[in-house]
Amino acid sequence: LPKAYQISQYDLPLGRNGYMEIFLPESQERRRIGITRVHIEEDAGKLVHERDIASSSYSLVDYNRCGIPLAEVVTEPDLHSSEEARIFLMKLRSIVQHLGVCDGNMEEGSLRSDVNISIRKAKSRNLGTKTEVKNLNSFRAVKKTLQFEVARQKKLLNEGKKVIQETRHWDESKNITLSMRSKEEAHDYRYFPEPDLLPLKVDVKIIDEIRKNLPELPEARRERFVKNYQIPRYDAEILTSSKSLGDYYEKATSLYHNSKVLSNWIMG
Helix (H) or strand (E) holding 97, with range, is helix 82-99
As a whole-number percent, the residues of the chain with pLDDT over 70 amount to 98
pLDDT score for 185: 65
Distance CA 92, CA 52 (A): 29
pLDDT at 12 over 90: no
pLDDT score for 181: 83
* Segment 127-179, tens digit of pLDDT: 889 999 998 999 999 999 999 999 999 999 999 999 999 999 999 889 999 99
Residue spans per domain, the chain: 15-185, 204-267
Which residues lie closer than 8 Å to 135 by C-beta, 6 or more apart? 46, 112, 113, 114
Q: Are 129 and 162 in contact (CB under 8 A)?
A: yes
pLDDT score for 7: 92
pLDDT at 255 over 60: yes
Distance CA 252, CA 208 (A): 34
* Segment 169-217, tens digit of pLDDT: 999 889 999 998 886 665 567 888 889 988 888 899 999 999 999 999 9
Give me the chain's average pLDDT, please: 91
Average pLDDT over every residue of 42-47: 88
Distance CA 224, CA 227 (A): 5
Distance CA 255, CA 56 (A): 54
Nearest residue to 70 via CA among 98, 38, 105? 38
Nearest residue to 113 via CA among 94, 87, 141, 91? 141
Distance CA 44, CA 115 (A): 18
* Segment 90-105, tens digit of pLDDT: 999 999 999 999 998 9
- What is the reported pTM? 0.86
* Segment 212-236, tens digit of pLDDT: 999 999 999 999 999 999 999 889 9
Distance CA 50, CA 63 (A): 17
Question: Strand pairing of 46-49 and 59-62?
Answer: antiparallel
Distance CA 83, CA 144 (A): 10
Average pLDDT over every residue of 67-83: 94
pLDDT score for 108: 85
